Amino acid sequence: MANKTVLFIFTSPALGGATRSTINIIQELQKYGYIPKIIFPKEGPATSMIVDMGFTYDIANLRQVSWQNPLRTLKVLWFWICYLRKNDIRLVHTQDLFNTRNIMYPTFFTRTPVICHIRFPMEPQNWFFRRLPKPHTFIFNSNALQQQMQTLLSKCPSAKSHVIYNSVDEESFVPKQVDNVKLRVAIIANFHKVKGHEDFFDMAAIVLAKYEQVVFDVIGDDTTGGTRMEELKLYSQKISDNVYFHGSIKNVSEVVRDVDIVVCSSHEEPFGRCLIEGMACEKPIVATRVGGIPEVVCDDSSILVPAKSPNKLAAAVLKLLQDKKLRLHMGRCGRQRVLKMFTNKVYVENIVGVYKGILEK
C-alpha cells in the first residue's frame, strides 16, 4: 500500500501522559513508512511541541453526535467525511473513548478503520458505542486496564484488543549524578484528584517533621482550567517554604534528572508514565499499589504502599532519604527495566505491528 496516512486525534493540547505517549509514536512513525496527520481541538503546549519537532497540525473539534440537533450533526459528519477523503486517511488513531465515539459515523462512511487507544478507565462502559459502529481495535496501556474494561469489550465483540505499555524517550530521560544539599522528592502529575496530591503533601509534612533538608517538586498543572492549582497551594501552605510548583514543563526530563526520588501517590493509575520517566533517569520510585503500577515497576526499583496512606508514603520516602546506596541501587535497576521494556523503539514497533495487521491484510 503506497499511502499509509494515520490520523491522530488529540483530546487536549495539554502535556499529560497520554499526549506525551502519542507524541512518541508520531516522532518515530515516518521511519516505518507511515505519514502522521495530526488534529488538536485547540492550541496549547502540545501543539508547540509538535511544531518544534517539525510537524504541522490542524485545529478541529469533534462534537458529540446528537440526533436531537440533526442539522448540526449532519454538518459535522459531512465535514469529517470530506476531511478523511481529502487527506486520504487510511487509519484513525484516537486517544480516548469520547473522540472515538464521535468519529465512528464518518469513518463508517469512508470505511476507515479506527484504533481506540485507552489509557484511563471511563464509565459507564456499556454506553459509549450503543447504536454506533464499533472500532476495529482497542489498545490498552496495561493488563489491569484491559481487565477493568471488559464490559466495553463485550459490547464490541469483533474488535481486536492489545496491551501495549507506554514508553519514554530513553535518550532524553538519562541519568545525571546529583549531589543536592537539600534532597529533592518529586511528583509528576497533572492536578486530577485521583493523582493524590493531597496525600503527597501530607507525606511531605510528615517527612519534614523528621528530616528538614528536603524540597518537594510538583511537576504538572491544572489542565481543566479550574481552581485546582490554588486549592493545592492553599493545602500545602504550611510547608510552602519546601514546596516548588513548576507548572507544565515542556522538557520534564530536565527537572527529573535533578531530583533524588520520584513519588506516585495516585488513587487510580492504569500505567503511570511518571514511573518510567523517573526510572529512566535512575531515580528510585515510591508509588501506590494500584492499577497497572505493579506491572511497570519491580521490587528492586520501587517501594509500593497502599493508596491513600500518607504515613506509609512518608516511611518509604524517609527510608530512601536516609540510604544513598539504596537510592542508587534502585535507580540503576529501574533504568535497566526501562531499557528492556519501555523504550520508544519497543513501543513504536508494537504500535506499527498493530497498524500492519490492519492495513496490510
What does the H/E/C string look like for 6-36?
EEEECCCCCCCHHHHHHHHHHHHHHHHCCEE
- End-to-end, the C-alpha distance of the chain in Å comes to 10
| Residue 226: per-residue pLDDT | 83
Residue pair 316/286 in contact (Cβ under 8 Å)? The answer is: yes
| Residue 65: per-residue pLDDT | 67
| Residue 250: per-residue pLDDT | 81
Q: Which CATH architecture has domain 183-341?
A: 3-Layer(aba) Sandwich (3.40)
| Residue 190: per-residue pLDDT | 92
Q: What residue segments make up the domains of the chain, in order of their start?
A: 5-167+344-359, 183-341
Residue pair 237/255 in contact (Cβ under 8 Å)? The answer is: no
Q: What count of other Cβ atoms lies within 10 Å of the Cβ of residue 179?
A: 6
Q: In which residue ranges of the chain is pLDDT below 50?
A: 1
Q: How far apart are CA 271 and CA 117, in angstroms?
A: 13
Helix (H, G, I), strand (E, B) or coil at 154: helix
Residue among 183, 329, 342, 187 nearest 258 (CA) = 183
Please report, as a single letter, which amino acid is at residue 65: V
Please state whether the predicted TM-score (pTM) of the whole model is above 0.85: yes
Q: How far apart are CA 8 and CA 13, in angstroms?
A: 12
List residues bridging with 183 in a β-sheet: 214
Q: How far apart are CA 265 and CA 284, in angstroms?
A: 14
SS3 labels along 70-93: HHHHHHHHHHHHHHHHHCCCCEEE
CA 343 to chain centre: 15
Q: How far apart are CA 196 and CA 201, in angstroms?
A: 9
Residue pair 9/94 in contact (Cβ under 8 Å)? The answer is: yes
| Residue 18: per-residue pLDDT | 87
| Residue 2: per-residue pLDDT | 59
Please report, as a single letter, which amino acid is at residue 168: V
Q: How far apart are CA 287 and CA 303, in angstroms?
A: 6
Residue pair 163/141 in contact (Cβ under 8 Å)? The answer is: yes
In terms of Cβ atoms closer than 10 Å to its own Cβ (0-12, 13-18, 19+), residue 296 is: buried
Does the fold of domain 183-341 match that of domain 5-167+344-359?
A: yes
| Residue 123: per-residue pLDDT | 81
CATH code assigned to 5-167+344-359: 3.40.50.2000
Phi-psi region of 144 (alpha: psi -120 to 50; beta: other; left: phi over 0): alpha
List residues bridging with 53 in a β-sheet: none
